[in-house]
Amino acid sequence: MGLIWTICIGVLAGFLAGQIMKGSGFGLVGDLIVGILGAWVGSWIFGVLGVSAGGTAGWVVMSVVGACLLLYVIRLIKKA
């Protein structure tokens, strides 16, 4: 059940990150996939920093931060 929950939050995070990070974008499906990966990136980054995300809202914030960072890095590489 944890994997399904992570995917659902990742999809939401991808949508929100796509709205926050305006630009050329990857389309709805691409941003959603980046959001799912961003959920894992956000979880890893927050774990390294020793910050815990409590509750569903905390997981969404953590996932959005991870997705925004991932979108930023991907766009940097895409421009190069």
* Extents of the domains making up the chain: 2-13+28-79
pLDDT bucket at 1, cuts 50 / 70 / 90: low
| 32-61 residue pLDDT tens | 788 888 888 888 898 899 988 788 888 888
Give the residue-averaged pLDDT of 19-44: 79
27 phi and psi angles, rounded to 5 deg: 85, 170
42's torsion region: left (phi>0), alpha (psi -120 to 50) or beta? alpha
Answer whether residue 22 shows pLDDT above 70: yes
The alpha carbon dihedral of 7, 9, 11, 17 has a sign of negative
Global pTM?
A: 0.82
Tokens of 37: 């990966």
- Checking if the pLDDT of 2 tops 80, the result is no
Average pLDDT, integer, range 56-79:
87
